[in-house]
Each structure stands twice: as structure tokens, then as C-alpha cells.
Amino acid sequence: MGLIKDADLSVLFSRGILIKSERSKTERCIQLGDFVLIEGENADQPFVAQLLDLYEDGAQQKHAVVQWFTHITEIPKNKQKLLKRRISSQEVFFDLVSGYDTDIAVETIIESVLVIPLRLKDELPTRLKKEKIFCVKQSWDGKCFKVLSPHTFSMLNEANKKGDGIPNSSSSFVPLDIISSVKKETKKVAWSAPKTKNAEMEIESKHSASKSSLYKKRHSLRMDNGTKNPTARKKLDLNSMYMSVCVFCPFGCFECTVICIFLKDFCRFFLISLLNMLESKEEEDFLSSSDGSYSSSSEEEDSDVGCTPEKKTKSSRMFSTPKSSRKPSVHTPAKTPRKTPLLGTPRTPRNATPEIPRRSHAAQKPTSVLEEARLRLHVSAVPESLPCREEEFQDIYNFVESKLIDGTGGCMYISGVPGTGKTATVHEVIRCLQRATEDDDLPSFQFIEINGMKLTDPHQAYVQILELLTGQKVTATHAAVLLAKLFCTPGPKRKTTVLVVDELDLLWTRKQNVMYNLFDWPTQKHSKLIILAIANTMDLPERIMMNRVSSRLGLTRMSFQPYTYKQLQQIISSRLNSVEAFEEDAIQLVSRKVAALSGDARRCLDICRRAAEICEFSSQKSTQEIVRMTHITQAIDEMFSSPYIKAIRNASLHEQIFFKAILAEFRRAGVEEATIQQVYHQHISLCRMEGMQSPTVSDILAICARLGACRLLLLESSNKYLHMRVRLNISQDDVMYALKDD
């Protein structure tokens, strides 16, 4: 049907495209000015656009120039408020945002749709509510909404009229084979001059003169054929809506999407579209009768598909399981938009958002200064600003900002020991950037975050990224494919993505393909992906990454030094923020102590909190006390003192003698390891010296097991009985020191 062979593609500018499915030999035609759906990041939400131009570049790449329409879901939440009215899901906005690429690859076009321009007060006619049809009332330029200019309005109307003229031409037939097959290869985009008008007319006339009994007979025959298969039968019983799918699949694979707009009654639509479909099928046969080979092959295809059970069961299952959105078939564009309204799929329970129940009593407000201080010092409290990380903050901010403005991608590696504010700083940067985009200083971006520790397996990273990005839930391998496609192909209309990867070292796998992919995507030309990778060790790229991975990570690195005592002091003071609960010296003591140990801000805050608690306990109710040095010292002792010495001092007498026996045996043998038998002899002689009753072997073994459970001793497995070897888990000096005072 008007198909022009590749040889004729020399025409540089064409007036339309014909999308053809090879399997079913069906085509649909999209002309310039038509409205189309374009593959988005998420197959459930294709973009809407108007086709303005088609051309071919030197490298035989077919391009399309489009005018975008923005769906309400693409507009940031805070901007949606500007509209001050409820938006139906069918409404789109004439897109005037400058940032988006209007030049796209032709392959991403899915199908044609209808976009009706409306006045602001008009409503979409109710009969059109259910269909895949959009209306446009306003334009959107990234900052505010405007009413459509008369010129635009008339232009859109014009385009519509042209589209309306051929509502049931072959352009409205969606080849179903594309739907059932995942591979893109089955779909072939061919270029054509606009179809011959008379062919279209023929179809129309056929349509009006339908309802011949022959067709009906043939139809019922095919119905029988279709229902012979048990699986298909079952599906038919389940839901009559499935029928349209199950029955159509086997033979011919036509589906009418536009006609249904004009019919109110669904049943009637069903019947008529069925007839209509058969008609056009018949007509196709008729048309191609001149070309014998074509028609026969088409027939063969029909019968072939009709009687192959696997084929049918597959397609029917695809439509019936609510899980189907998780299958790879999701990505075939034509099906998804239609499927959801048609089947009314119950939302998968996976999407249910769980919640911890509310508390029954309101949380108490802090009553005293100390409680207030404790609350402010909690690590979870988000401070107004992050002191002492201004430089790092600025570096990261500048990095991300420049990439955002350029619309390119890049990686940055951030390292530092735990508790030095890496994640907090990155979050602060993102917050600031988001604020800047709200004020329209920066192009908007999408922020997603994954944490290696919150993944069960490195490959789950793909799944999480894809889900955060598009809301799809798929398996890890498929997610990797989808993401690669998303970031590596010249994507239409996509915001820059800022991806924070926390605990990067956990994403290590033997082949390192997760890390490789993560750092490879930003280097792709069209990825628009900015990665901020966070890990503990500075030399991680050199230590665990292969060369090809670390080279892609690049040299944009930053390391967070442990906090110095002055910085820690500043952090505490800024958190306390004029709450007079701590002595100045006390704060200094904590900061110096922690800075000397680890420089971990979390530890610092925890100590302060504990000190405030201790202070609260010790102070009398009446007098308001503030945290002093003694409280801090007590808290530090509590947190850092070694428990071993206290544990030995509080052990029972025989346990202590056992330690002495071990020390004696070690000294005798000169080896820091002994068997129970040897220690037992020492123990008995010690008991004799003290004039005590000597324990039995069972007693000794029990003592040994108890100390082993506390890990004061290291033991072999106990089935060796007297030959079990014993070792100390602490230094001999510590044991001696602990036992000396007695």
C-alpha cells in the first residue's frame, strides 16, 4: 500500500512516514502536522508532540523535528500550583520551554494521537474522556502558563482537521504484531510520499457498506478457531474485554483506536470495529490480489498464527496478568497506553506504600534547656547550615552547577572516613540546587540517590535507579538494558539526572560491570547524567577498580578530612545555637577528645547528648544545671573505656584463678597457647596454695566455656575435651593489671 522501497529514499524532505510491521504487513501513516506519541523514559508515559518536519542527514539517520507538548506530570509540583485549576490527565500544554531538543530520531515515534485545541473554559466532551486523545488549552514556557495565542490555536486546529479527514484510514490501525514482539527489528520505518487519496476513499466506502453476511460468517468461524485453544478460552470467560484481544491476535492483528472515539456504547464499538477490521482485511486481500505472492504470504501468516497455541497463550497472558507491566513487553510502545484504560488493571500490590502507624499520643515538646539541647544535638536533626564544609560544599556545587548549565554529564568521587559529613554535604548541595531551580536560575534536574548498603546485591542498583527514574519495576538485567538505552541513545526531552551513589565500594562485583556502567554512562554524549560517588577510602579507585573503570571515574575527586577540634567545636556551638546548656570548656574537651580519636562528628554529638543526659540525671529537679567537664568525662569514659578489665575484675573467684593459671602456664611453657589439661594442673596447684577446694574437670570446662562466650578467651571447638587449646583474647599485661588489686 503505497510502500516505497529504500531506493526511493533519496527524497530529502518527506511529508509523512509510514510505520510498517513486517509480520502482519500492516502499515500506518503519519503525516507532517500529525500529533504523535514519542517514546519516553517510561513506557507508560510517552511524550506528546506534533510532527513538524522530517529529514535525513548524511549518515542515513532519519530525523524528525517536533513541537513538544508537556503533560502535567512533567511539570514540577510547585509549578503546578500556578494553574489554580484541576487538570485532567488528558490535558497537555503547548511546550515553549527552550531547553529541550526538538530534533529526535524517527524510531522513537510510537503512534499518532489526537490533540484538540480548546478554549480555557471549554471542557473536553465527555464522550471523548476515555480515549487516547489529548486537549491543549494553555502553553507552558518553564516558568508560567499562558493562554494559547490565536495563531497557535488556529495552527493546531488546522492540523487537526487534516487528521480528522482520515480517521479510519490505515493510519489508525495499530499493527498488533509490534505489540507482541519486543524486538524493534520487526518494526520498520519506511518513508513514503503521502498515500494515494483514492485508496483511502476506497476504504471508507467499504466501511459504510459493511455488514454483509459473508463477513459475519467468516468472523464467527474465526471466533471458533480462536476459542478452540483452552488458554484463550479461559481468558475469554474471565473478562469479555480480553476477548477483543484474544480473538484478534490470531488472525490479522488489527486494532482500531480511532473509531472508538465516535461511539458511545462500548459493545457497539466492539462489534463494529470488529467488522470494520474484517472489512479492511478483506479489502487488503482485494487490493493485493494483483500481487499474488503478497496475499498468499499474508494468508499464510494468518493461518499460521491462528493455529499456533504458544503464540496465542503468550499474547493472552500478556494482557491478563496484572504483572505484565513488569515484563519486557512493556517497552513495546503501542500496547501500553491502550492497555491501562482498557483492562482497568488492578494496581499491583507492590506499589502499595507501607506506613508505620501514627502515634497515639503527641510527642512531648522538650521542657527544659537540656532536653532542647539534646534534641538539637541528635545526629538526625538537620542543621540550618553545615559549618566547616563550606569549601567542599562550594566545590561540589560548582561542579554540579556547571554540568547542569552545560547539559552534559560527569562524575565526581568523594571520599572520607565515616562521620565527616560527606552525605550531609551532598544533600545540602542538592537542596541548594533545587532551590535555585525553583527560582529559575538553573535548568531543572532530577535527583536520585542509591546507597550500596541499602541494596541486597550490587545489580539491584539498576533496578533502583530505573524505579526512581521512571517508576518501572523490572528485573536487574532488564533494568540495565533499559538504563543503557536511556542514557546512551539521543533521548528526546529529558532533564539532567543527578545521581548520588553512597557507599560505592559495596557495588563492587568480580567483573565490576555495575561500576563500569555507572561511570560509563556520564561519558556518553547524550546521557545528561551527573554522578556523585561517595565512599570511605581515598584510594578506592586504585585499590579495587580495574583500570577501565577508574579511568572512566575521572580525576574529579574530593576528600573530606576528619574534623579538627576547632571544627567540631564550631559544629556543636552552631547546633546548640544560643541554647545555654554547655560550658565552653566542656565543648572544647569533647572536640579535642574526639578529634584525637577519630574526627567523627557523629561520635562528638553522641557524647554531648549522653553528657546532657547524665547532667539531667544528676541535677536536682529545682536547680537548672548546665553540662560541665565532669559530665563530659563521665560520658567519654562510658563510651570508650575498655570493658575487659572490668569484666575480669567482676568475674568469680575460680574464673580469676583460671586466668592466673593460664598466665602461669604461659610463663612456664613460653608459648601463648595452652591446653586445658595443662591449665587445669596449674589451677589445682593454685587452689592448693590458697587452701581452697579444687574444682572438678567439668567445672573447669564450664568456666572455660563461660569465659570463651564473653570472648575473654579464645577456644577451640569443645569436643577435644582436655586437649582443647586456650588462648587469651587480651594482652597478658591487662589480665595481670586487672588481677593485681585483689
For 623, the 3-state DSSP assignment is coil
Please report whether residue 431 would count as binding another protein according to CB under 8 A. Answer: no
The CA-based diameter of the chain, rounded to the nearest angstrom, is 120
Q: Of these, 506, 544, 579, 629, which contacts another protein (CB under 8 A)?
A: 506
Instruction: Find out whether 442 and 433 touch, Cβ atoms under 8 Å.
Output: yes
Q: Give a three-class secondary structure readout of 626-681.
A: CECHHHHHHHHHHHHCCHHHHHHHCCCHHHHHHHHHHHHHHHHHCCCCEEHHHHHH
Residues 470/472/474/478 CA torsion (nearest 10 deg):
-40
- Cα-trace Rg, the chain: 37
For residue 499, the cross-strand partners are 448, 531
Q: Of these, 7, 59, 209, 453, which contacts another protein (CB under 8 A)?
A: 453
Residue 192 CA to residue 194 CA, distance in Å, equals: 6
Taking the complex as a whole, the smallest distance from the CB of residue 693 to another protein amounts, in Å, to 7
- Contacting another protein within 255-284 (CB under 8 A): none
Pairing of strands 529-535, 62-71: unpaired
CB 385: neighbour CB atoms within 10 A? 9
Q: Of these, 142, 418, 490, 554, which contacts another protein (CB under 8 A)?
A: 418
- Contacting another protein within 590-649 (CB under 8 A): 600, 602-603, 606, 609-610, 613, 617, 638-640, 643-644, 646-647
For residue 416, the cross-strand partners are 560
- Contacting another protein within 564-593 (CB under 8 A): none
Question: Which stretch, 1-9, 114-122, 208-216, 650-658, contacts another protein (CB under 8 A)?
Answer: 650-658
Q: Of these, 198, 353, 385, 620, which contacts another protein (CB under 8 A)?
A: 353
- Outline where DSSP puts E strands in 526-585: 529-535, 557-560
Please report whether residue 21 would count as binding another protein according to CB under 8 A. Answer: no
Please report whether residue 355 would count as binding another protein according to CB under 8 A. Answer: yes
Cα angle value 508/511/516 (rounded, 5°) = 70
- Contacting another protein within 193-212 (CB under 8 A): none
- Cell readout for 272 is 463494529
Q: Where does residue 71 rank: exposed (0-12), middle (13-18), buried (19+ CB within 10 A)?
A: buried
Q: Output 32 or 534, the one with its CB closest to another protein.
A: 534
Q: Output 262 or 721, the one with its CB closest to another protein.
A: 721
Please report whether residue 697 would count as binding another protein according to CB under 8 A. Answer: yes
The contact mask relative to another protein for 518-557 (x = CB under 8 A, - = no) is ------------------x---------------------
Q: Output 30 or 703, the one with its CB closest to another protein.
A: 703
For 138, the 3-state DSSP assignment is strand
- Identity of residue 52: L
Please report whether residue 729 would count as binding another protein according to CB under 8 A. Answer: yes
- Contacting another protein within 698-727 (CB under 8 A): 698-699, 702-703, 706, 709-712, 721
Question: Which stretch, 7-15, 328-336, 454-462, 518-526, contacts another protein (CB under 8 A)?
Answer: 454-462
The answer for residues whose C-beta is within 8 angstroms of residue 304's C-beta and 6 or more apart is none
Please report whether residue 378 would count as binding another protein according to CB under 8 A. Answer: yes
Q: Output 143 or 723, the one with its CB closest to another protein.
A: 723
Q: Output 147 or 653, the one with its CB closest to another protein.
A: 653
Measured between alpha carbons, how far is residue 221 from residues 4, 216, 237, 398 in Å? 35, 8, 18, 70
Taking the complex as a whole, the smallest distance from the CB of residue 542 to another protein amounts, in Å, to 19
Q: Output 14 or 425, the one with its CB closest to another protein.
A: 425
Q: Output 377 or 532, the one with its CB closest to another protein.
A: 377
Please report whether residue 121 would count as binding another protein according to CB under 8 A. Answer: no
Please report whether residue 379 would count as binding another protein according to CB under 8 A. Answer: yes
- Contacting another protein within 22-81 (CB under 8 A): none
- Contacting another protein within 290-349 (CB under 8 A): 349
Residue 643 CA to residue 633 CA, distance in Å, equals: 17
Please report whether residue 671 would count as binding another protein according to CB under 8 A. Answer: no
Taking the complex as a whole, the smallest distance from the CB of residue 114 to another protein amounts, in Å, to 38
Tell me the site size for another protein, rule CB under 8 A: 75
Eight-state DSSP code of residue 194 = P
Q: Output 265 or 355, the one with its CB closest to another protein.
A: 355
Residue 110 CA to residue 392 CA, distance in Å, equals: 45
Instruction: Find out whether 119 and 155 touch, Cβ atoms under 8 Å.
Output: no
Taking the complex as a whole, the smallest distance from the CB of residue 252 to another protein amounts, in Å, to 38
Please report whether residue 691 would count as binding another protein according to CB under 8 A. Answer: no
Q: Output 429 or 461, the one with its CB closest to another protein.
A: 461
Residue 524 CA to residue 505 CA, distance in Å, equals: 23
Please report whether residue 363 would count as binding another protein according to CB under 8 A. Answer: yes
Taking the complex as a whole, the smallest distance from the CB of residue 255 to another protein amounts, in Å, to 32
CB 352: neighbour CB atoms within 10 A? 8
CB 265: neighbour CB atoms within 10 A? 9
CB 404: neighbour CB atoms within 10 A? 21
Q: Output 109 or 429, the one with its CB closest to another protein.
A: 429
Instruction: Find out whether 425 and 568 touch, Cβ atoms under 8 Å.
Output: no
Please report whether residue 385 would count as binding another protein according to CB under 8 A. Answer: no
Please report whether residue 654 would count as binding another protein according to CB under 8 A. Answer: yes
